[in-house]
Amino acid sequence: MERKITKAIIPAAGLGTRFLPVTKAMPKEMLPIVDKPTIQYIVEEAVASGIKDIIIVTGKGKRAIEDHFDKNFELEETLFRKGKFDLLDKVRACSNVDIHYIRQKEPRGLGHAVWTARNFIGNEPFAVLLGDDIVRAEKPCLKQLIEQYEETHSSVIGVQQVPEDQTHRYGIIEPSSVNGRCYGVKNFIEKPKEGTAPSNLAIMGRYILTPEIFSILDNQEVGAGGEIQLTDAIHQLNKIQKVCAFDFEGKRYDVGEMLGFIRTTIEFALDSKEYGTDTVELMQNLLQQRAMTSLI
């Protein structure tokens, strides 16, 4: 199949329990990293990779995501009248991409969330981007995967190495061969028990999948955590079409758990064009004060 990848699914139906209570009434995808919600970084990566149509799989209490990517005439009008053109540009940038939405009616896992968008995708290869992973890279992560897909026309799953003691938190691959950055895979294992992972190559929330995944997901049984797992379906897909696990270039930030989120916020603030210099000074002062009080 030689079709171009133009469609992407962004699952955003998760309950965000790791961030409670902040996620009680606010979608975790709307938590800000400096001045943008996490999901905007994901949408920007998709667009920069050539994606034309995005579908976000939402759930209850996720309205703020739709409002964020919608046009806000009143706000734009006010900013225009006040001559705040910088802010106007930033606000407009949020609504210049067409996004579709569908609700996952029950929280049945990532595999089920992706399956929910099957009619939107139809019979073509597509991308999946998970909101818990933000990647900063010279070439957008998803674009790297798309270029790999264009060479082989089979599914491509983004992976990177993680510390051994972290493997139980991810989908892990058991590689069978390697060609450049592309691993052939023997086994895809979702959240292996601690100490049992066959490698430290973890699935990192970026996928190019062929549409055959949907007929596998039609019958996919529950796996780790009692949920329908995308990783299990990919394992089945790999038996009928070779799947490549692609070790992409770039730095991946885990915004799916609190410490990763704090770390990302600090790093993005330090690197920010607008706030970077002030943040460096602020942090130096704070750390100096701490060092002094601990000496007293």
Q: Residues in the site for ligand G1P, rule: CB under 6 A?
A: 110, 130, 132-133, 170-171, 190, 202-205, 229-231, 256
Q: Which is nearer to ligand G1P, 116 or 279 (CB)?
A: 116
Length of the chain: 296
Measure the CA–CA gap between 8 and 181, rounded to whole angstroms: 23
> Long-range contact list for 174-181, CB < 8 A, 24+ apart?
174/198, 174/199, 175/199, 175/201, 175/245, 181/148, 181/246, 181/247, 181/248, 181/249
**In the complex, least distance from residue 237 CB atom to ligand G1P, rounded to whole angstroms:** 14
**In the complex, least distance from residue 234 CB atom to ligand G1P, rounded to whole angstroms:** 9
**In the complex, least distance from residue 179 CB atom to ligand G1P, rounded to whole angstroms:** 22
Q: Please give the residue whose beta carbon sits closest to ligand G1P in the complex.
A: 171
β-pairing, 36-37 vs 32-33, is: antiparallel
Tokens standing for residue 228: 């329908």
Measure the CA–CA gap between 76 and 82, rounded to whole angstroms: 10
**In the complex, least distance from residue 205 CB atom to ligand G1P, rounded to whole angstroms:** 4
C-beta separation of 67 from 92 below 8 A:
no
**In the complex, least distance from residue 119 CB atom to ligand G1P, rounded to whole angstroms:** 23
**In the complex, least distance from residue 11 CB atom to ligand G1P, rounded to whole angstroms:** 8
**In the complex, least distance from residue 14 CB atom to ligand G1P, rounded to whole angstroms:** 7
Q: Which is nearer to ligand G1P, 115 or 279 (CB)?
A: 115
Q: Which is nearer to ligand G1P, 59 or 256 (CB)?
A: 256
Measure the CA–CA gap between 29 and 144, rounded to whole angstroms: 24
Q: Which is nearer to ligand G1P, 99 or 228 (CB)?
A: 228
C-beta separation of 260 from 253 below 8 A:
yes
Amino acid present at 13: A
Q: Which is nearer to ligand G1P, 130 or 269 (CB)?
A: 130
Q: SS3 for 238?
A: helix
Q: Which is nearer to ligand G1P, 72 or 166 (CB)?
A: 166
The single residue listed with the structure tokens 């919600």 is 37
Measure the CA–CA gap between 172 and 185, rounded to whole angstroms: 10
Largest CA distance in the chain: 69
Q: Which is nearer to ligand G1P, 23 or 229 (CB)?
A: 229
